[in-house]
Amino acid sequence: MTVSYKKLWHMLLDRDMKKKDLQEAAGLSGYAMLKLGRDENVTTEVLGKICGVLNCTTDDIMEFIPDKKTADDKAKSIF
């Protein structure tokens, strides 16, 4: 299962914010921003800081995407 932060980037666009603005407002490191930009896992602390600044929940900024192979395997095992 992978994670996607596309919702976060769309939210920033809607609020006319740049990634750098979010980084400064939330007190995030450059490394945390790099990981977000690569759709990599980040700590719940990072997610909490982002949600605090944007006044939202994690559902508003991220989503989990099932691996295609895993989803196919589960579907086959049902039948």
Superfamily per CATH, domain 2-78: lambda repressor-like DNA-binding domains (1.10.260.40)
Q: What's the whole-model pTM score?
A: 0.82
Digit-coded pLDDT (tens) for 21-79: 999 999 999 999 999 999 999 999 999 999 999 999 999 999 999 887 755 566 566 65
Distance CA 3, CA 5 (A): 7
Cβ neighbours for 10, distance < 8 A, ≥ 6 positions apart: none
Q: For the chain, which residues make up each domain, given as ranges?
A: 2-78
pLDDT at 11: 97
Q: Which residue(s) pair with 3 in the sheet?
A: 64
